[in-house]
């Protein structure tokens, strides 16, 4: 009888632990607010190097603590006659800009930081789905939250990913997360889409259609998750 009671107790405990972990994961499955006033000089240098393009469909900028920074952007370009092209641009620095410029205290050193840029055309269908996912993760129920006090210390020397999108009426939505703290299916899904866009740019042209199909599937799964407040 005591053994039976112990087994039941353990099962209940495991169930409670799973539910508690699930609830915590759900609550933390979001991006955090971006303080645009923090390190303004470094931000100016970073934008100039890594974000020279529009990002009216999506952008992710990644700032590792020690490795080179990089970005991926999705945007539209108007062409003549009456044609719109959709582009993915991947840019990576050859060294860590934060360290090279001493947190922008030596901005002239930014000239020595070179970048490599890759531009690839992508289908309108894929670009539109990516745009939907970015807007959904940066607004509404998923609107970026203030970072929790218990996580602030854990972001020291972390790799920060900033997600953003330019809206048609001039507003820009922002959100960020430390990659070491990604906790939840939606946030992981967003990161997977962004990384797949980078892989699309890195791939040889003949491999890109297959990666584009992967992006469509990943975005589709993310959009399905975003239809529900709980998952």
Residue 131 falls inside a structural domain: yes
Whether residue 51 is found in the same domain as residue 68? yes
Whether residue 36 is found in the same domain as residue 24? no
Residue 162 falls inside a structural domain: yes
Residue 23 has pLDDT above 70, yes or no: no
Whether residue 79 is found in the same domain as residue 127? yes
Whether residue 10 is found in the same domain as residue 108? no
Residue 210 falls inside a structural domain: yes
Helices 124-137 & 208-226 angle (0-180, nearest 10): 30
Here the contacts of 26-30 (C-beta below 8 Å, separation 24 or greater) are 26/184, 26/230, 26/231, 28/148, 28/181, 28/183, 28/184, 29/183, 29/184, 29/185, 29/186, 29/187, 30/142, 30/143, 30/144, 30/145, 30/175, 30/184, 30/186, 30/187
pLDDT of residue 135: 97
What's the total number of domains in the chain?
2
Q: For residue 121, how many C-alpha atoms fall within 13 Å in the half-sphere facing its CB?
A: 7
The percentage of the chain sitting over the pLDDT mark of 90, rounded to a whole number, equals 70
Across residues 156-182, what is the average pLDDT?
91
User: Which domain, by its residues, includes 53?
Assistant: 31-226
User: pLDDT band for position 40 (50/70/90)?
Assistant: very high
Q: Are strands 115-122 and 160-166 parallel, antiparallel or unpaired?
A: unpaired
Residue 9 has pLDDT above 80, yes or no: no
Residues 110-168: tens digit of each pLDDT? 999 999 999 999 999 999 999 999 999 999 988 999 876 655 544 557 899 999 999 98
Residues 88-110: tens digit of each pLDDT? 999 999 999 999 999 999 999 99
Whether residue 84 is found in the same domain as residue 183? yes
Residue 109 falls inside a structural domain: yes
The pTM for the full model equals 0.84
Q: Are strands 115-122 and 70-79 parallel, antiparallel or unpaired?
A: unpaired
Whether residue 23 is found in the same domain as residue 77? no
Whether residue 139 is found in the same domain as residue 214? yes
Whether residue 8 is found in the same domain as residue 36? no
Across residues 50-73, what is the average pLDDT?
96
pLDDT of residue 152: 55
pLDDT of residue 128: 97
Whether residue 189 is found in the same domain as residue 155? yes
Strands (E), the chain: 58-63, 70-79, 83-93, 115-122, 160-166, 172-178
**Helix (H) or strand (E) run with residue 191 in it:** helix 185-202
Whether residue 14 is found in the same domain as residue 52? no
Mean pLDDT across the chain: 85
């Amino acid at each position: 009888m005591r053994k039976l009671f112990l087994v039941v107790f353990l099962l209940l405990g495991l169930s409670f632990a799973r539910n508690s972990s699930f609830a915590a994961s759900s609550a933390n499955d979001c991006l955090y607010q971006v303080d645009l006033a923090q390190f303004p000089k470094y931000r100016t240098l970073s934008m100039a190097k890594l974000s020279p393009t529009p990002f009216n469909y999506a952008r992710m900028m990644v700032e590792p603590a020690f490795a080179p920074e990089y970005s991926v952007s999705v945007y539209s370009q108007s062409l003549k006659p009456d044609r719109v092209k959709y582009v993915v641009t991947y840019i990576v620095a050859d060294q860590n800009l934060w360290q090279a410029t001493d947190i922008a205290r030596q901005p002239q050193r930014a000239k020595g930081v070179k970048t490599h840029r890759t531009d690839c055309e992508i289908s309108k269908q894929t670009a539109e789905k990516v745009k939907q996912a970015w807007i959904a993760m940066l607004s509404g129920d998923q609107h970026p939250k203030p970072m929790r006090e218990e996580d602030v210390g854990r972001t020291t020397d972390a790799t920060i990913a900033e997600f953003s999108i330019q809206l048609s009426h001039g507003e820009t939505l922002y959100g960020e997360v430390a990659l070491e703290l990604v906790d939840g299916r939606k946030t992981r899904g967003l990161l997977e889409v962004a990384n797949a866009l980078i892989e699309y740019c890195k791939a040889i042209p003949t491999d890109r259609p297959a990666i584009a199909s992967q992006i469509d599937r990943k975005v589709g799964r993310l959009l399905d998750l975003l239809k529900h407040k709980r998952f």
